[in-house]
Structure 1
Amino acid sequence: MKNSQHLKAYVQMHPDNKMAWYLLGKEYYKNGQQGKANYCFNQAGEVYEAFERSKVPADMLREYEDGLLKVEHERHQAGLRKRRLLVALALTLLVFLPSAVPAGTDAGSGAALASLLSEAADASVEPAADKTGAEQVNAPEEPEPGLAFTAMGSDAAASGAAIAQLLRDGARSATAILAMERSGKWLLWKEKLPLAATVVQSGKGRAVYQSYDKAGCRCEPPEAGALQQQAGQWQRQQEQLAVLWSAMLAYRSSEGSLPPSLAALTGAFPGNWLGGTTPLMKEKFASVRNVAAAGAAQQPAADPGGKETASGSGEAAGGNAAAAGSGGQELPFFTGPLTIIVDKQNHRLAVTSGSVIIRNYKVGLGGARTPEGTFTITDKVVNPNGRDNGEFGSRGMQLSDSNYAIHGTDEPESIGKDESLGCIRMSREDVEELFAMVPMGTKVQISKGGLPEELLVPADRYPSEAPGNQTNPNKVYHWLN
């Protein structure tokens, strides 16, 4: 551990020395501190890549490390000699200049001062924390007040760069990081995402990092039950805010201004931008609108998997990791508009935001009869056949000015097959949830390939009850079922 302390002090004095960062990372790795090691390896950059992939003799590394340690040790000893000289001068002043003691100070004050100076001289200098200000210790089981949540790719959540990104983004004093699995270019927003770590900012710009990955940190993490329960609630809230945020963006794109009230998004057909509302939407409408009005970014600042942030989300991902908009208003996690992607090859339909898949459903298609390209959801209709058990099921969403739609079906056995005349068929439960989640104006991209086969459908569904004013008795739909 002493080598680690000296190397830490050295990289603080020479932050551009990538070899020193690499050697410090090796020390952390040897001591089982994987999170700190990852951060140092990120700082080492190409040096890490070169030395890990080549067969560099261990003697060469040891010789270079010994040189760095010798330089730092000499600097450290010089500092101690200087402080001891100051102590000697202070003691001399105490002996020969008694009148310099302030009035009202007792006789023990001089001894106390000498004692403090002596302690300062003899104590070893503790190097400051890593550049992130993060050190891993056992955190308390209960979260601190004002706890915030964010989510990142599981490959990013344990890295030092992720912590640095959180601190740069102005995260709250306590942040819990949830881990999303990666599937190709996508991150998966699964139900009950596991808790990866917490970062609690302490005084003097430092932060305490606690890993909850027992295998990754080689530690015994605290019990995460209470935090996991809060995390699940946060996930459900972020889905609702994503729907509200996306509806606001779609309304502004169409009408030229933000909706003046929640009622403007929930009118009778054809003004039903949203399929329904929740108590949270009513509570947060004003604050979310204020963020949008203040010009908050509509697109994610970085990949939640951390590709643009050297493994950090932070999944500012489809979303923004615990970031704040103007005036301290907090952005929803998903700041990218919701988009529907249809994969004809795998018979999948996904709801996405940025690089995150929020839902991934199994659908029925029409093979070559299903068109490819980019469309927009125009009509959103409840019971498009005038009843909920017709050929188009209980919900229908028309694709631009065409005869194609995403809708339910009275032939559920056709889901996963190419038996439609070109439309996209969904099971009743799936189409009703999709109808509730995606607003009018949502983009739909249809192509071959691109989505994982793994279904992403939670047991606890998004609220999908639709008001009765979203039917269209004045039109008979002739979609190509």
Structure 2
Amino acid sequence: MKNSQHLKAYVQMHPDNKMAWYLLGKEYYKNGQHGKANYCFNQAGEVYEAFEHSKVPAEMLREYEEGLIRENRQRHESRLRLRRGLLALLLLLLLLIPSAVAPGVNLDESGAPVPEAAAGDPEEPVAAKPAEEETTPVPAVLAFTAAGEDAASAGQALAATLKNREAPSKTAVLAMKKSGRWLIWKKNLPLAAVIEQSAKGKVVYQSYDPAACACEPPEAGGLKKQAQIWQGKQEELAALWSAIRSYNSSKGKPPESLKELTRPFPGNVMGETTPLMKQEFAALRAASALQPLPASPQPSPAVTTEGTAAVGGSGNGEDTANRSKGQPPFFSSPLAIIVDKQNHRLAVTSGNIILRNYAVGLGGEKTPEGEFVISDKVVNPNGHDNGEFGSRGMQLSDTNYAIHGTNEPDSIGKDESLGCIRMKREDVEELFAMVPMGTKVQISKGVLPDELLLPEERYPSGTPLDQTNPNKVYHWLN
């Protein structure tokens, strides 16, 4: 299996190397993964035909394969050395940060020192305080963020935590794996590091990756539990943030209340709300009002290279306060949908992060490519949940194409539709609940990873009954 992993990494870096595709297919076939093997053989094209119908010595193929694997291992070791070097540089920079400004000296917006109100040692208070107050430590505000697992991405996330932060602060960074151009958002992301900044400006960095720091990290059970709670909130905030931004884009102003987003069909920008959404609506609306609307035309989400560097709080009120000052939630880019016709995948994305990756049924060349928006969201299309369109339907840009459920679940992963995008019931109901009206949809080929991303605990998908449309018969190209 290790050979398969190295060869897979090689073809991701060199997708035009047909010989590498052929050798990867041979490895998959040897391991009994015939479906993946056939896909690789198709990518290999004429190389597969040539080698399968000729008597090429096995030793020659083995030597070529060993060369590819050796090259990939060398590249992996080189990246690991670079990662450790960047981490060491990051640690050095963090150690130098406190010495740049003396503790107790305030700076104005231009960076110039602000004189103290009274002369004397700036670290000592002017008025005497009780002894117990002088020795009582100020608790650090705990927040969370997530970044790519490489040191450069983690460094960017840590730099974001130091910008405009009120000391003391403590931020835990979770690590997302990278797949091609994408970062993968999964439940229970591993803890990568914690950075703590004291009231006097001292910065302490603690890595929780034994391979990166060559150390034995401290126990992080409590932090991991809090991180899981933080992660659970971010998807709900992403859905609400996307709905507010979509409403703002179409109406020219943010919604005045949560009810404006959950009106009966066809005003159902989003589906059912949650207690967290009701709690956070005012802060997210305030943040949205200060965020400029995206310029038109939009760049394709599939080629976005910038990472998410926002910092979300732990739910203790600090993140809400930050958003009321104009800071968006962690998923600062509105949710978007990417459909990959080559891999039969549909992903929910924010910037360059994938939150979900579903298997879908398509129509081959009958499924159009291009950019669309969700123009209609309806529960139980044509009045029932077990028909050809299933229990949910999302129309694409007022066309006859839609993302919907199906009464033919065996067609998922195949090209058997007349052009629409078919999904399993639990998948389409989750998607319907997550993405709002106006969500951008891009259909193309070869842009998504093959790995499915389906959490055991799904996004809340309960939907009010007033999202049906009894006055219309839909004639989507199923």
What is the identity, as a one-letter code, of the residue corresponding to 2:88?
Answer: A
Partner of residue 154, structure 1: 149
Unaligned runs of 5+ in 1: 1-28, 44-127, 135-142
Alignment match, 2:421? 424
Match of 2:355 in 1: 358
Tell me how far apart the structure 2 counterparts of residues 171 and 35 of structure 1 sit (CA, whole Å): 27
Aligned position for 1:96 = none
Q: Residues 412 and 144 from structure 1, CA distance in 2 versus in 1: closer, same or farther, beyond 3 angstroms?
A: farther
Residue of 291, 297, 310 corresponding to 1:295: 291
Deviations 1:110-162 (A, max 9, x none): xxxxxxxxxxxxxxxxxx9334779xxxxxxxx95521000000013785554
Q: 1:170 to 1:145 in 2, by over 3 A?
A: closer
Relative distance call for 1:272 and 1:434 in structure 2 (3 A) is: same
Residue 247 in 1 paired to residue 234 in 2?
Answer: no
Structure 1 residue 442, shift from structure 2 partner = 0.5
Asked whether the equivalents of residues 266 and 275 of structure 1 are also in contact (C-alpha less than 8 Å), the reply is yes
| Cα deviation 1:349-403 (Å, max 9, x = unaligned) | 0111111111111100000000001111011000003111111000000001111
Are 1:414 and 2:380 an aligned pair? Answer: no
| Partner residue in 2 for 1:21 | none
CA RMSD of aligned residues (A): 3.0
Larger Rg: 1
- Alignment CA distance shift 1:468-1:397 (3 Å): same
Give the direction of change, closer, same or farther, for the CA distance of 1:366–1:33 in structure 2 (3 Å limit): closer
Q: Which residue of 2 aligns with 1:228?
A: 224
Contact 1:177 1:195 in 2 (8 A): yes
Shift of residue 297 of structure 1?
Answer: 7.9
Change (3 A) 1:209 1:157: farther
Is the 2:249–2:293 Cα contact (8 Å) retained in structure 1?
A: no
After superposition, where does 1:339-350 map in structure 2 within 5 Å?
Answer: 339-350=336-347
Query: In the alignment, what sits opposite 2:384?
Result: 387
> Which segment is superposed worse, 164-173 or 261-270?
164-173
Distance in 2 between residues matched to 1:171 and 1:321, nearest whole Å: 14
User: One-letter code of the match for 2:242?
Assistant: S
Secondary structure of 1:129 counterpart: helix
Aligned residues: 347
Asked whether the equivalents of residues 143 and 312 of structure 2 are also in contact (C-alpha less than 8 Å), the reply is no
Question: Which residue number in structure 2 is paired with residue 474 of structure 1?
Answer: 471
8 Å CA contact 1:157, 1:179 repeated in 2: no
Find the partner of 2:265 among 269, 285, 296. 269
Measured at CA, do residues 273 and 158 of structure 1 come closer, stay the same or move farther in structure 2, by a change above 3 Å? closer
Unaligned stretches of 5+ residues in structure 2: 1-79, 101-137, 296-300, 314-318
- Counterpart residue type for residue 248 of structure 1: I
Query: What is the one-letter code of the residue matched to 1:247?
Result: A
- Per-residue deviation, 1:330: 4.6
User: Cα offset for 1:171?
Assistant: 7.3
- Cα distance per residue 1:74-96 (max 9 Å; x no partner): xxxxxxxxxxxxxxxxxxxxxxx
What letter corresponds to residue 406 of structure 1 in structure 2?
I
- Decide which moves more: 184-193 or 199-208: 199-208
Q: CA deviation at 1:163?
A: 2.9
Q: Secondary structure at the match of 1:385?
A: helix
Distance 2:84 2:368 in 1: 52
Select 1:202's aligned residue among 198, 205, 218. Answer: 198
Report the more deviating stretch, 448-457 or 423-432. Answer: 448-457
Residue of structure 1 in register with 2:26 after alignment: none
Aligned partners of 2:147 and 2:153 also within 8 Å: no
Q: Which residue is equivalent to 1:461?
A: 458
1:39 has 2:35 as partner:
no
Match of 1:336 in 2: 333
Cα gap change, 1:297 to 1:179, in 2 (>3 Å): farther
- Cα offset for 1:321? 6.3
- Per the alignment, residue 170 of structure 1 pairs with 165
User: 1:340 is paired with a residue of what secondary structure?
Assistant: strand
Q: Assess if the C-alpha contact under 8 Å between 2:147 and 2:154 holds in 1.
A: no
Residue 426 of structure 2 aligns with an amino acid whose one-letter code is E
TM-score after normalising by structure 2: 0.67
Give % identity. 62
Alignment of 1:48-63 (within 5 A): none
- Find out whether 1:399 has 2:396 as its counterpart: yes
Alpha carbons 2:160, 2:311 under 8 Å: kept: no
TM-score normalised to structure 1 length? 0.67
Alignment partners' CA distance in 1, 2:326 and 2:462: 30
CA contact (8 A) 1:349 1:361 kept: yes
| Contact 1:387–1:394 (Cα < 8 Å) also in 2 | yes
Could you list the per-position Cα deviations for residues 24-50 of structure 1 after superposition, in whole angstroms to 9, with x for gaps in the alignment? Answer: xxxxx99x9867524279x8xxxxxxx
